[in-house]
Structure formats: C-alpha cells, structure tokens
Amino acid sequence: MTRFFVLAFSLGLASACTCHPVVTPPPEPGAFIMLFPDPDAAIVSQVSVSTPSGTVQLANEYAFTTLTPNRSPSPVKIMNGADADRTFQSVLAGLPPKPLHFSLYFELGSDELTSQSRTELADVLRTVRDRAAPFVMVVGHTDTVGAPASNYELGLRRAKIVRDLLVGAGLDASAIEATSHGEGNLLVPTPDDTAEPRNRRVEIVIQ
Amino acid sequence: MVAAARLAAAVLVFACATPRPGAGQSEGTGHIKTSSGAAFILRHNDSLPATAGDVVYESDGLKTGADGHLGVTLKDDTRLSLDPNTEVQLHSFVYAPAERRFGFVLKVVRGVVAYVSGRIAQFAPDAIHLETPDGILGIRGTRLVIRVQP
C-alpha cells in the first residue's frame, strides 16, 4: 500500500511540473485499476477485476487494486480522493464531453414536428454548435398505427427531416447518421394499431 | 436424413448470405474528439495521424507518443482518454440496440487510460471486457482509470 501512495505522489509531482514531462516508471510490470466517482452516472459503479487466480470487486469511489503477473489481484484499498484526482488529473481532463440526448415528437402519421418540439429544436441546434467535432445520431420511431414496413419508412422520413434541419444549420452531412427503427422500439409499449404520441419521435444523440 | 442435411446446409448458406442486421447502417465505431501531440490511429499495420473528427473503426488501435493525448467517443457514448505513451487495441465493438446485440472488448496494452462506460454497460454489462496483460475487467460502470506498465 505504501508503495502505491509513493507512486501516486511521484506521479502527481510529475504531472504538476510540465517542464519535465517524464512519467516516473512504476517499479515493476503490472496494472493499476481505480474506480472514480461519476456525477453523471445513472447506474451504480462497479468493476470486477479478474486474473486466472482470483477476482476482486471495486465498488467504492477511489477503490483500487493492482495486478502483477501470475498473481491474484491485490486486496482492494481506497486512495485519498484528492491525491487520486491529482495523480490522474491529466487523463481525466482529457475525456470528451458527455454526449447529450434529445427527443423530438411528431404529429400522427406525419413527418411534421409538434409545435413544442419545433421550439425544442433550438436547443438541439445550439448544443451541436457548441461542440467541437460534433457527431450526431438521429433515430426515427413511430407508433403502431399502420404496417411495420410503412412505419420503417415513416421513421426514416422523420430522421431525415431532422438531419436536413441540422445540415441546413451548418452541420457537415458526414457528421450525421439518420436511421429508423420504425415501430420496433416503442418508448411506451402498446398493442398494434395504437396511436401514441410519445412513440412518434426521433431520438437524437449529440456526441 | 440426406434431405435434412441438405436443408440444414441450405439454411446455413442462407444465414451466411443474409446481410448482418444493422450492417451498413452504422459506419465506424466512434470518433476522435480531441487529439494533441503525437497521436495515432493504428489500422492494418499503418499508423495514421489522429485528428478530431476522424472515424474510429472496430479493430483499430490508438496510440500516443511522449507528448500525445487522445479523446474518443464511441457510438454507445463510451468515452476514452489516453495520456502520453499509451496504446489501446479495440478488439470488438457491437452496438445494435434495435437487434439487442452488444459487445465491447478493449485491451490496454500500455500507459494510462480513463474510461467512462456508455449504453452497452446499461443494456448488456456482461458484454464488456476491458483487458490488461495481467487480468480482465468486467464493468458495471462507470468511470475508471487503468494504468498498465508492460
């Protein structure tokens, strides 16, 4: 344990001093794995770390284990959060921004946005403009009114309408992917031939 | 018996000839979001300079030199960051939610990598394997750092 605090400390110094971009080599081959807090997490963070001779679970913030060849993972320990954040500041800061998700809704059987979604389109456009090297995925969905094949086409029309709006606003066409799930991926499960406004949507992921 | 075997063979040929569901829908596995210093995409024994916006494909590697940093977002919203002197290899990436098919295998060869899980971790956490030379990580999420000294 002492060894890893010493390692963390020396790494912290190395990253604080940019005039010497020399990474202190760890004393021996192996791996170090640490779980970090994630304010955005929708699920409980947990990692299992396995070698042929054993498994440990990391389930707490700043929990870590080390792997050395032909050994079980070291028992789990917790590092001081401030030390851990400082040690790995550079790699954590290098993570790209969190992707954002939007849904826009459509009138029955139509590729026309609802009036509320026309308003929300401004948020989508602003988000795309604010990103460096944006990539956007647009997936069209329908409710279960009509045949699956025509709903696939309707979903695709909806996705392409949104794609064209984004391209019209200046986004490179190669940075957008428009696809359809038709009625195959209902947000609100319904029987066949059921009009459901919440299912008539495009889901937009902005990365 | 022979007829059954023929039928099985025919079904097999049909199954192989049918395009993979979702194939052609999605080009690539993700994108380079940030790149600085010496930073490369490793593809078919080539080492291509990585630039923000570049497409990353399944089976690509990523590598940084002494002053290199890379930030990558994959299609399921998985995010990766590579510090200098780091190399990772993407062994497989399958994100087809409409067909409920998921898979993600990434090997950290050397260096320091930060990982934030994406939607595959929500839909199919057992489909994710992060590998190091000395052990394998199963991921329920979400944010972690891996450091490998080969």
**10-residue mean pLDDT series, chain B (150 residues):** 46 39 58 98 96 95 98 97 98 90 96 96 93 92 93
> Average pLDDT of A48-61?
94
Q: What is the pLDDT of residues A144-187, one digit of tens each?
A: 999 999 999 999 999 999 999 999 999 999 999 999 999 999 99
pLDDT at A43 over 80: no
Calculate how close chain B gets to A5, using CA atoms only, in Å. Answer: 15
Nearest to A4, CA basis, from A68, A52, A58:
A68
Banded pLDDT at A190 (limits 50, 70, 90): very high
User: How many residues can be counted in chain B?
Assistant: 150
pLDDT the model gives residue A40: 78
* pLDDT at position B97: 86
Asked if pLDDT for residue A15 goes beyond 90, the answer is: no
pTM: 0.83
User: Among A37-51, A113-127, A154-168, which is the least confidently predicted range?
Assistant: A37-51
- CA B120 vs CA A29, B67, B76, B77, B101: distances in Å: 31, 31, 6, 9, 9
- Residue B95: closest CA among A158, A205, A155: A205
* Residue % of chain A over a pLDDT of 90: 79
Check if B96 contacts A (Cβ < 8 Å): no
- Give the CA-trace dihedral at A115, A121, A123, A125, to 10 degrees: -160
Residue B72 neighbours by CB under 8 Å, 6+ apart: A96, B30, B31, B32, B33, B56, B62, B79, B80, B81, B82
- Provide the pLDDT for residue B17: 37
- Distance between CA atoms of A12 and A92, rounded to whole angstroms? 13
Determine contact: A68 vs chain B, CB below 8 A. yes
Residues of A in contact with B31 (CB under 8 A): 133, 135, 207
What pLDDT is stored for residue B68 in this prediction?
98
A137 or A18: which carries more pLDDT confidence?
Answer: A137
Predicted pLDDT at B125: 92
A49/B137 Cβ within 8 A: yes
A45 closest CB neighbour out of B32, B112, B141: B141
**Nearest residue, CB atoms, A41 vs list B25, B132, B142:** B142
pLDDT of A61 higher than 80: yes
Residue A142 has pLDDT above 70, yes or no: yes
- pLDDT at position A27: 58
* CB within 8 Å of chain B, chain A residues 109-168: 132-133, 135, 137
User: What confidence category does residue A63 fall into, taking pLDDT thresholds of 50, 70 and 90?
Assistant: very high
| pLDDT score recorded for residue B39 | 98
Q: Is B9 left (phi over 0), alpha (psi -120 to 50) or beta?
A: alpha
- % of chain A surpassing 70 pLDDT: 86
**DSSP notation for A154-175:** HHHHHHHHHHHHHHHTT--GGG
Q: What is the mean pLDDT of residues A137-141?
A: 97
Which of B53, B70, B140 has its CB closest to that of A47?
B140
Residue A42's pLDDT is 67
Chain A residue with minimum CA distance to B51 = A133
Among B66, B72, B135, select the one facing A49 at the smallest CB separation: B135
pLDDT of residue B27: 66
| Cβ-based contacts of A133 with chain B (< 8 Å) | 31-34, 52-53
pLDDT band at A41 (very low <50, low <70, confident <90, very high): confident
- In chain A, the residue whose alpha carbon lies closest to the alpha carbon of B23 is A179
